[in-house]
C-alpha cells in the first residue's frame, strides 16, 4: 500500500464523520430555523426571522430565564456537594480513594431514568420520605417535594453530579501534598490553605465540571417530565414540544440554535479562564 493511499484511509473517516454527522445536521438546523412553518407540521422554504422574533415573546424569554436559573442552581449545588466530598476523599490513603471513587460511579452506570423513578418513590406525597417524617411526627402534612422546582433540581443534581466529582477529584489529586504541609508549617490557617493553594490548583477541574453540568441541565427534558409533573418547562421541553407536539420545526430549530449560542458563550468564558477543551471529554 502506498503511503499516499494510507494517508487517505486514515484521514477520510474523521472528515466523513465531522461533515456528515456533525456539521451537516447542525447547518441544516440552522437553515430551517429561518424557514416558515405552515400550520400542521410542514415547512415553507421562504426566509423569515419570525422564529427568532418569537423567542423574545415574554413567554419564551421566561422559559429561557427559568432554564438558566435551574441550570445555575444545579451547578452551584453540585459544586457545594462535590468540593467537600472530593477533599474528604483525598485525605484517605490511595487504595481507599480508588475504592471510594469506584463506588461513586456505580449508581451512574445504571439507567438514569430508573434512578429518577427511584426518586419519585422517595419524594412523592405518599412516598418514603414523607412517610418517615410523618411517622416520626416531624411534620403533620406531607411536604411537596416533587412536581415542583425542588424535585427538578434534586433530579438534575443527582444525574449530573459525577460530571463535577470526577474532574474535581482528578485536579485535587494533582495537588502537591508537600505544598500543603509546608503551608501548615508556616502557620497557614485552613481557609488560607484553601484559598491560596487548593482553590487555584483545582480551578481547571472546577470549570470543567461546571461546564459539563450547566449545559446538559438546559436540555434534560426527561428529568423535568418525571419530577416536574408536566407543568414546568425548560428549554429541553420547549424544543421537544415544538418537534413532537406543536409540529413547528422551524421555531424548535430557532430555540435549538439559541441554545447552541448559549453553549458557545459558556465555552468562550471557559477558554478565557484558561480551560482546555481536551479536558472536557476526558473522564
Partner 1 sequence: MKTNKVLDNLIIFIVFFFLFLPICVLILFSFNTSSLNITFEGFTLYWYQHLLENTALLEALKNTLLIAVISTVVSTIVGTISAYALKKYDFPFKNVINELLYIPVVIPEIVLGISLLCIYTFMHLELGMFTLILAHISFSIPFVIISVRSVLDSLDPNIEKAASDLGASKLKTFFYIVIPLLLPGILSGAQLAFTLSLDDVVISYFTAGPGSNTLPLYVYSVIKTGVTPDVNALITIMLLVIFIVLTIATIISLRKFKKEVRG
Partner 2 sequence: MKKIIIVLLILICTGCSNTKEEINVLNWSSYIPDSVIKSFQKETGIKVNYSTYSSNEELLAKISGAKEGTYDLIFPSDYMVEIMKDRDMLETMDLSKLQNYRNINPNYLNLDYDKGNVYTVPFVAATVLIAVNRDEVTDTITSYNDLLNPKYQNEIVLIDDQRIIIGLALLANGYDMNSVNENELEVAKEWLLKLKPNIKAYDSDSPKNFLITNEASIGVLWNAEAALAKDENPNIETIFPDEGFALSIDNMAIPASAKNKDLVYTFIDYILRPDVMKEIIDAYPYKNVNNMTNNLLGSNYLNNSAANIPDSVIAEGKFVENIGESVKLYDKLWAEIK
Binding site for partner 2 (CB under 8 A): 39-42, 57, 59-60, 63, 124-126, 144, 147, 229-233, 238, 243-248
Site for partner 1 in 181-200 (CB under 8 A): 181, 184
* Residue 4 within binding range of partner 1, rule CB under 8 A: no
**How far apart are CB 153 and partner 1 at their closest, in Å?**
13
Stretches 54-62, 107-115, 168-176, 196-204: which one binds partner 1 (CB under 8 A)? 107-115
Name the binder of 199 from partner 2, partner 1, none, CB < 5-8 A by kind.
none
**How far apart are CB 121 and partner 2 at their closest, in Å?**
11
Q: Which is nearer to partner 1, 17 or 200 (CB)?
A: 17
φ and ψ of 37, to 5 deg: -105, 135
Site for partner 1 in 202-261 (CB under 8 A): 211, 215-216, 218-222, 226, 235-236, 239-240, 243, 249, 252-253, 256, 259-260
* Residue 38 within binding range of partner 1, rule CB under 8 A: no
Long-range contacts of 115-120 (CB under 8 A, 24+ apart): 115/158, 115/159, 116/155, 116/159, 116/222, 116/223, 116/226, 116/227, 117/226, 119/146, 119/151, 119/154, 119/155, 119/158, 119/227, 120/146, 120/226, 120/227
Q: Which is nearer to partner 2, 168 or 238 (CB)?
A: 238
* Residue 116 within binding range of partner 1, rule CB under 8 A: yes
**How far apart are CB 142 and partner 2 at their closest, in Å?**
9
Site for partner 1 in 140-179 (CB under 8 A): 158, 161, 177
* Residue 106 within binding range of partner 1, rule CB under 8 A: yes
Q: What is the C-alpha to C-alpha distance for residues 65 and 278, in angstroms, rounded to an integer?
A: 30
Name the binder of 144 from partner 1, partner 2, none, CB < 5-8 A by kind.
partner 2
CB contact set of 113 (below 8 Å; sequence gap of 6+): 222, 226
Q: Which is nearer to partner 2, 72 or 229 (CB)?
A: 229
Interaction pattern, residues 60-99, with partner 1; x per rule: CB under 8 A = ---------------------x--xx-xxx-xx-xx--xx
Q: Which triple of cell numbers denotes residue 133?
A: 417524617
**How far apart are CB 112 and partner 1 at their closest, in Å?**
5
Q: What is the C-alpha to C-alpha distance for residues 25 and 60, in angstroms, rounded to an integer?
A: 24
Name the binder of 153 from partner 1, partner 2, none, CB < 5-8 A by kind.
none
Name the binder of 207 from partner 2, partner 1, none, CB < 5-8 A by kind.
none
Name the binder of 7 from partner 1, partner 2, none, CB < 5-8 A by kind.
partner 1
Amino acid at each position: 500500500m502506498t503511503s499516499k493511499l494510507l494517508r487517505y484511509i486514515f484521514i477520510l473517516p474523521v472528515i466523513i464523520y465531522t461533515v456528515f454527522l456533525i456539521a451537516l445536521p447542525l447547518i441544516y438546523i440552522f437553515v430551517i430555523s429561518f424557514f416558515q412553518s405552515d400550520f400542521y407540521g410542514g415547512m415553507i422554504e421562504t426566509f423569515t426571522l419570525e422564529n427568532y422574533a418569537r423567542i423574545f415573546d415574554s413567554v419564551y424569554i421566561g422559559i429561557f430565564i427559568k432554564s438558566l436559573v435551574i441550570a445555575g442552581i444545579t451547578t452551584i449545588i453540585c459544586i457545594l456537594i462535590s468540593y467537600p466530598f472530593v477533599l474528604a476523599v483525598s485525605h484517605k490513603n490511595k487504595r481507599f480513594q480508588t475504592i471510594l471513587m469506584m463506588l461513586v460511579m456505580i449508581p451512574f452506570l445504571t439507567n438514569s431514568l430508573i434512578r429518577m423513578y427511584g426518586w419519585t418513590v422517595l419524594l412523592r406525597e405518599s412516598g418514603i420520605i414523607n412517610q418517615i417524617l410523618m411517622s416520626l411526627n416531624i411534620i403533620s402534612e406531607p411536604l411537596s417535594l416533587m412536581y415542583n422546582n425542588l424535585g427538578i433540581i434534586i433530579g438534575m443534581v443527582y444525574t449530573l453530579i459525577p460530571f463535577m466529582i470526577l474532574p474535581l477529584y482528578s485536579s485535587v489529586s494533582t495537588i502537591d501534598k508537600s505544598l500543603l504541609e509546608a503551608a501548615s508549617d508556616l502557620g497557614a490557617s485552613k481557609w488560607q490553605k484553601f484559598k491560596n493553594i487548593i482553590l487555584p490548583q483545582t480551578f481547571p477541574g472546577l470549570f470543567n465540571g461546571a461546564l459539563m453540568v450547566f449545559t446538559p441541565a438546559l436540555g434534560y427534558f426527561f428529568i423535568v417530565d418525571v419530577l416536574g409533573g408536566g407543568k414546568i418547562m425548560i428549554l429541553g421541553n420547549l424544543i421537544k414540544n415544538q418537534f413532537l407536539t406543536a409540529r413547528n420545526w422551524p421555531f424548535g430549530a430557532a430555540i435549538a440554535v439559541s441554545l447552541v449560542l448559549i453553549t458557545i458563550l459558556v465555552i468562550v468564558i471557559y477558554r478565557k479562564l484558561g480551560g482546555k477543551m481536551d479536558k472536557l471529554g476526558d473522564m
